[in-house]
Structure 1
Amino acid sequence: MTDEALHTNGPAGDAPAPRFVGRRRELKELRDDIARTGLDTLSGRKAKAPRARVLLVAGRPGSGRTALAEEFARQTAEDYPGGLLRTRLTAPGGERVPTERTARELLEALGETTPPGAGEDELTSLLRQALAGRRALLLLDDAADAHQVDPLLPDDPDCLVVATSQGPLTGIPDVRPCTLGGLDTPAAVELLTARIGSVRVTVDPRAAETLAEECGGQPAALALAGGWLAAHPKAAVADLAKQLHDTPTDRGPVARAFRLLYEALPQPAQRTLRLLPLAPAGVVDAHTASALAGCSVAAAQSTLDDFAGLALLRPGADGQYLVPGCLAPLLRGLMEARERTAELQLARARMLERTVRLLTSCRTVTEPEGSPARGRLAGLPRALRFPDAEAAAAWLESRLPVLTAAARMAVADGELDTLARRLVAALVRALLAHRGTEEAAPELYGLHGLVLDVAERRGLHRERAAALLNLGDLDHGTGRTREALDRYRAALDAGRAAGDPYATGRAMESVGGAYQELEDWHRAADWYGRALSQTLARGERADEARLYGRLGSVHTYAARYGEALRCWRASAAGYRRLADVPGQARALSEMARVQEYAGRPEESLHTCRAAVDLARRAGDQRLQAALQVRMADTLDRLGDPAAARLHRATADRLLGEDPVAYEIRSGSG
């Protein structure tokens, strides 16, 4: 959320649950706007709007627009059983959040899987499908313009969208803004009382009204003024009102109140506050503040708690704090004016290094007890260690948006590319350890793209090849085979430029796999052959056996059975030399399939029996059952139904009546 505060905390030492103050007229206006007849209905074009109703809360940062939208959502949530979805459309630094990222976040909040690498159109279409018939409430905070909101609107009139913005959303029909000014004086005084208690307000109610006027009724300014008074328990309300009045009037009330509160802080706290704009996504925790300021984690936690009590930060979930959007430009201005560039670079480096160490600890805790990695983990400071894998996974999930924002920020910075690469690599490993490849694929796609950006900027051919191969694999896995083929070809060029035979061979094999997926058997065989030639030159026997198998599969699909048999024989021989019994069994099973296709049933039976013996030694019951069924089919064709029944009965005893178990899959993968 963007703005400080109509949700307020009590005075220092007595913090009741946040409560909402004022804005009764605006709340009623928003409720009435839900049922208001639309322009389409008035003109007789439609009986019901085809899209969700959009309500707009418009106001300057600090006016309490987000708090009003949240309160309205809280009051109407029961009418929308499909759930409340929140997202922020503008980053703390003022940059627009890409619609693709917003749609992905909303889909994940709905529990929907998102294809890795999907573009904006595909993701917004999936979002509309997921919201169809759901009757959900969407809160889109801090929209820059209608172009950010329009793609996210559900095609369901039973849904409701509440957007906050600084101005109108020109381009979205039938939207009337609920424009916010300052709070009226009684509500402003009530907000101030909630911050500092009733004693000083009761003693001098006129001074409280004057202070509210000096703050322009702006909730953020009132919250900051309340923070100053809470930090100065002996100061009178009139004293602060006079100081605000004497502050230059060219600044707005929020800036004036912030300046007074900032100048009252100790020097170390001032510096910590100035460095907070470096925090990714405007979210800071004790570790981030500790690394930025170069202090202990305990001292940073205490400072953050003090900032939250002064309304300089807003408490979030799981020990995280959010920089209010109305304060972000003020803090950035202070940082740029007071901090040297070299000091800022050092603070960024410390923050990224701390993040890398936390991610390494998060991954290492999943290693087995007694492993060397766990031994190294024990040597880390206690603050950087997680008690168990569950705690590490919970930390990773709660921090993932911030961690990905840190990776994007590090790559965009361009001055800390080594740290950026280490950060991305650590985040990839942590995601793989806790989520696995398939579940983490959407995040991995973006991270590999960041690695590619750094590699291209720095001319790192080996890293570029690796990133392109990873992105190609993810494209291939989601059916974008043409895109994957382009990635693999680019990876081949990068591997050759790096002089890396492994990357080159891997790229050749992947190009062959893409052509195989496209059923271009001739090109697939050609590229597999190139990869095999390179592997033979390096003497890598395991890769040789696998590539012979892939060539055999392609020749089988192309009905070139002679070539296929030669390749499968070579593959089986390779696995035999490696003492890989399961691999040899599967190669022989594929060889039997080709012999059957080639019209040589007796040879197929002989090969099947040899494969069954190997599958039995390997303990692969599924393969044994599949081979028994194959032998039964062959015996039927040879006119021996009795023997065929015996083999089918054997297959049934192995795995029961499961037709999936009887399928022999190609060993090409």
Structure 2
Amino acid sequence: MTDQAVTAGGVRRFFGRQRELKALGADIERTGLDTLAGRKAPRARVLLIAGRPGSGRTALAEELVAALGERYPDGVYRARLTEPGGDPVPTARAARGLLQDLGVDEPPGAAEDELTGLVRDALADRRTVLVLDDAVDAEQVDPLIPDNPEALVVAVARGPLTGIPDVRPCTLGGIDPKSAIEMLTTYTGSVRVTVDPQAAETLAEECGGQPAALVLAGGWLAARPKASVADLAKRLRALPGDPLTRAFRLVHESLPAPAARTLRLLCLAPLGRADAHTASALAGCSVSAAATTLTDFVALGLVREGDGGQYEVPAHLVPLLRAELEERDRTAEVQLARARMLERTVRLLQSCRAVTEPEGSAARRNLAGLPRALRFPNVPAAAEWLESRRPVLLASARLAVADGDLDTLARRLVAALVRALAAHRGAEAAAPDLYGLHRLVLDVAERRGLHRERAAALLNLADLDARTGRTREALARYRAALDAGRAANDPYAIGRAMESVGGSYQELGDWQRAGDWYGRALAQRLARDERADQARLYARLGAVHTYAGRYGEALRNWRAAAAGYRRQADLPGYARALSEAARVQEYAGRPQDSLRTCEEAVEWARRAQDVRLQAALQLRLADTLDRLGDPAAARLHRSAAERLLGTDSSAYEIRSAPLED
């Protein structure tokens, strides 16, 4: 925990550390090395709070930030740089979290340098405080420091951050005895401390003045009103280890066996966060029993209560819980608990998505068959659950894939999460998350030799690369997807990959290669008699031949596309293909033919009742008539287009671009 304790009314109080707060405040005002050298400070001032986990580092940082108040009016932003289990958080992931808090759109699949650059840009003109909690080293912190001397960075770490200039650590030990006793009193009440003040001092000493140990000791005493402070101090003295380890073991061993097992299993929860569903799945008990157990853990100082029914295991307890889990629980039982947790998450995600489906659909019928605890009452409730647990769900997917022994569950979890995010947030807004999830699918597919899944993941990743302008990266992935599709003998993946390779070359302006790959894709569609795809590919071939100035080939392909659309009774597609054929005829110096083809396209657009398309085609027709020297007829067609749309006709020009899928 921290230098804070939670009173009976739920109010957090801070104890001690006044000397440290004063020193940190003075550090903010201290003249930096750049100023002494006559240079303007190029970056934000960095304050470092160093100490062991459980020493109250984060609480001191938050108390400092609260005390700064109006000096930094543009807000406080936070990023945690170490996972609860001790693994460093990749800087790119920390940057993504900050960008979301800052309201900055993140390009899907962006590299670490680009993401950290976006963070620094967003903070470049803001008077903000950036709290970087539990940093491992300077390499994590340095890329996130704003290039803004008006901002402040408060870093929390175990020790010095060598490599960041002009930083002096504020190193924490235990809090003073008076503050430690005050902290214990918030749990025990004043009577037990007043009747034996010497025992209270001894207990504070046994806890080493460490706030985390004091919280556990206070919770143990609060649960046992008849126990004396002296008795607890004696029990702690008899246990081996450092103060935090002794306090944890005392509390853990005092729990009933089912509760102790649930507590140990909580270290499996992603990001150390669990709700009643997670605890229920891990322990194999009912949701109501899990909720009661979690509430009891809060009173004992073993977990912290968060928003939306979520609970967090303090990071400094996770290594202790893992050690107990390895010692007391069999590996097969732990793996089964992990599998139950992932399966529960999959079912919740399926329910979260199903609630967005229309009434009477198969998904809604399946939803009605789920237990009430797994159902969401409406779409807003499901969306709120998904958004509040999004970081935990993404962490669940990462942990499931990293496990290696639960790949089937991992694939189901990722698929369910992809569908839920797309349903509630939309594919565009969810794209950064989807990029990471598709990479996880790719990891599993490559590990298991699943060629079909590998092809699908590569295609999805390449699509996101292409959408964000990384065309060459997309091209490489499309080619890899083609190889995977061939290995899986998957006609859909093969055709899709070949067409997408052609699209990438088209985006790069390599018309020859684009036409070649579109031709290969078309040959496959012709062999399989896939007529809708044939028409689209004829249109794409017509577009690249038009760009390349090969008007004869372009016209043949546009006419083939038009014939294909007409066979499918796709009247708007037929009209568009005729319009593009008319454009090619005009480029080829055949204005009369272009005029007749364009008039035919207008008529088919009218039959299709596509008002926007009809108006755009009439504008095309007007331009052709102007070039043929008939301005009066051109004016009539422009007036007709304006009547159809009732707005500025210049906004409705048809561009000679490939038809969208």
- Do they superpose with TM above 0.5? yes
Aligned partner of 2:229 in structure 1 is 237
The equivalent position to 1:31 in structure 2, one of 25, 29, 44, is 25
Q: Separation in 1 of the partners of 2:563 and 2:573?
A: 10
Q: Provide, for residues 37-82 of structure 1, a one-character-per-residue CA deviation record: whole Å limited to 9, x for no partner.
A: 112222x241x31000000111111100001101111121421122
RMSD over aligned Cα atoms = 1.1
Q: Separation in 2 of the partners of 1:409 and 1:660?
A: 49
The equivalent position to 2:217 in structure 1, one of 225, 236, 252, is 225
Q: Which runs of 5+ in 1 are unaligned?
A: none
Q: How does 1:50-65 map to 2 (within 5 A)?
A: 50-65=42-57
Q: Separation in 1 of the partners of 2:301 and 2:62?
A: 18
Deviation >3 Å, runs of 4+: none
Q: Separation in 1 of the partners of 2:298 and 2:126?
A: 37
Q: Is the aligned partner of 1:436 residue 2:433?
A: no
Q: Is the aligned partner of 1:392 residue 2:386?
A: no
Are the counterparts in 2 of residues 581 and 618 from structure 1 also a CA contact under 8 Å? Answer: yes
Q: Which runs of 5+ in 2 are unaligned?
A: none
Q: How does 1:441-590 map to 2 (within 5 A)?
A: 441-590=431-580
Q: Is the aligned partner of 1:307 residue 2:297?
A: yes
Q: Which secondary structure state, in structure 1, belongs to the residue aligned with residue 77 of structure 2?
A: strand
Q: Separation in 1 of the partners of 2:373 and 2:71?
A: 44
Q: Separation in 1 of the partners of 2:385 and 2:477?
A: 33
Q: Give % identity.
A: 72
Q: Separation in 2 of the partners of 1:557 and 1:151?
A: 44
Aligned partner of 2:605 in structure 1 is 615
Q: How does 1:358-397 map to 2 (within 5 A)?
A: 358-397=348-387
The equivalent position to 1:192 in structure 2, one of 172, 176, 184, is 184
Aligned partner of 2:92 in structure 1 is 100
Aligned partner of 1:334 in structure 2 is 324
Q: How does 1:148-167 map to 2 (within 5 A)?
A: 148-167=140-159
Are the counterparts in 2 of residues 623 and 662 from structure 1 also a CA contact under 8 Å? Answer: no
Aligned partner of 2:654 in structure 1 is 663
Q: Separation in 1 of the partners of 2:565 and 2:628?
A: 31
What one-letter code is carried by the residue in structure 1 that aligns with 2:565?
Answer: Y
What one-letter code is carried by the residue in structure 1 that aligns with 2:18?
Answer: R
Q: Which secondary structure state, in structure 1, belongs to the residue aligned with residue 170 of structure 2?
A: strand
Are the counterparts in 2 of residues 361 and 377 from structure 1 also a CA contact under 8 Å? Answer: yes
Aligned partner of 1:357 in structure 2 is 347
The equivalent position to 2:136 in structure 1, one of 144, 149, 155, is 144
Q: Which secondary structure state, in structure 1, belongs to the residue aligned with residue 162 of structure 2?
A: coil
Aligned partner of 2:164 in structure 1 is 172
Q: Separation in 1 of the partners of 2:605 and 2:299?
A: 68
Q: Separation in 1 of the partners of 2:202 and 2:314?
A: 25
Q: Is the aligned partner of 1:15 residue 2:9?
A: yes
Are the counterparts in 1 of residues 543 and 554 from structure 2 also a CA contact under 8 Å? Answer: yes
Q: Which secondary structure state, in structure 2, belongs to the residue aligned with residue 367 of structure 1?
A: coil
What one-letter code is carried by the residue in structure 2 that aligns with 1:661?
Answer: Y
Are the counterparts in 2 of residues 592 and 603 from structure 1 also a CA contact under 8 Å? Answer: yes
**Change in CA separation of 1:539 and 1:392 when aligned onto 2, cut-off 3 Å:** same
The Cα of 1:593 is off from its aligned counterpart by 1.4
What one-letter code is carried by the residue in structure 2 that aligns with 1:364?
Answer: A
The equivalent position to 1:652 in structure 2, one of 642, 645, 655, is 642
Aligned partner of 2:271 in structure 1 is 281
Aligned partner of 1:124 in structure 2 is 116
Are the counterparts in 1 of residues 353 and 423 from structure 2 also a CA contact under 8 Å? Answer: yes
Are the counterparts in 1 of residues 543 and 656 from structure 2 also a CA contact under 8 Å? Answer: no
The Cα of 1:665 is off from its aligned counterpart by 5.0
Q: TM-score, normalised by structure 1?
A: 0.97
The Cα of 1:110 is off from its aligned counterpart by 0.2
The equivalent position to 2:315 in structure 1, one of 311, 317, 325, is 325
Are the counterparts in 1 of residues 641 and 649 from structure 2 also a CA contact under 8 Å? Answer: no
Are the counterparts in 1 of residues 638 and 649 from structure 2 also a CA contact under 8 Å? Answer: no
Q: Is the aligned partner of 1:402 residue 2:398?
A: no
My pick for the range that moved more, 69-78 or 450-459, is: 69-78
What one-letter code is carried by the residue in structure 2 that aligns with 1:614?
Answer: W
Q: Separation in 1 of the partners of 2:159 and 2:292?
A: 38
The Cα of 1:571 is off from its aligned counterpart by 0.8
The Cα of 1:658 is off from its aligned counterpart by 4.4
What one-letter code is carried by the residue in structure 2 that aligns with 1:388?
Answer: N
Are the counterparts in 2 of residues 590 and 667 from structure 1 also a CA contact under 8 Å? Answer: no
The count of corresponding residues between Structure 1 and Structure 2 is: 659
Q: Provide, for residues 463-496 of structure 1, a one-character-per-residue CA deviation record: whole Å limited to 9, x for no partner.
A: 0000000000000011110000000000000000
Are the counterparts in 2 of residues 57 and 69 from structure 1 also a CA contact under 8 Å? Answer: yes
Q: Which secondary structure state, in structure 1, belongs to the residue aligned with residue 648 of structure 2?
A: coil
Aligned partner of 2:197 in structure 1 is 205
The Cα of 1:620 is off from its aligned counterpart by 2.1
